[in-house]
Amino acid sequence: MLKNLEGKRVPEVTFHTRKGHEWVDISTADIFAGRTVVLFSLPGAFTPTCSSSHVPRYNQLAPQFNAAGVDEIICVSVNDAFVMNEWKRSQNAERLTFLPDGNGEFSDKMGLLVGKENLGFGKRSWRYSMLVRDGVVEKMFIEPEVPGDPYGVSDADTMFAHVAPNVALPHDVAIFTREGCGHCVRAKGLLNEAGIEFEELLLNRDYTDQTLRAVSSRITYPQVFIDGEHIGGADDLAKWLGDRGVDARNAA
């Protein structure tokens, strides 16, 4: 039976981290005392769900968590410091803190260390997230104890809904661009002026024109997508912003 430690203090352990060429020990008190922290733990660095969904979404929503009073977002896994540091770099997750629970001590004391010997993993952490205020666990979202690697309640969206239930999530924006495109520069300027983060996909680096035709049936640039909706080019984006009361004239 997996433990739920809501209302209890986080276990006292020391994390052995690596910064530059030195070992740096960080205690539980260093992390949690007098602070509000969101921590999520997962089975392993570089594993599929952890890399494709769990870490990226927490990293994306970090500014919103910070605005809601969360001081730090921490990712824990039963991996060593070298692996965790390299994983953070590969994920471009600079908004998160990665803590190595190499010996599984923290996960064990949390009551969430499980056997993954059937996969050759040995002992690993069960997937969960928790909100900790001044060292006391306020809320835990623990994935159900079923076979496999369930992922449905420890995600960033579920935690954010608990932390800030009345705050809207940011828009998910992708923009297809090409080099030397003035309209692309304008569209990116519009988004920047509106304070909307976006992911840029550059022609012949991240995709080909075949991909653009497949997703938009267009061959002009840029092409903007917001929350699953195809907006179009720079003029279409300006209209979309204007319809929502965003003054985009300075970027036009």
Catalytic residues: 50
> Measured between alpha carbons, how far is 125 from 140 in angstroms, rounded to an integer?
14
Return the DSSP state at 219.
-
Q: Scanning the structure block, which residue is given the tokens 């692996």?
A: 83
> Measured between alpha carbons, how far is 124 from 98 in angstroms, rounded to an integer?
16
Q: What is the CA radius of gyration of the chain?
A: 21
Strand intervals (E) in the chain? 14-19, 22-27, 36-42, 72-77, 97-100, 113-115, 123-125, 128-133, 136-142, 173-177, 199-202, 223-226, 229-232
List the alpha helices (DSSP H) in 92-208. 105-109, 156-163, 182-193
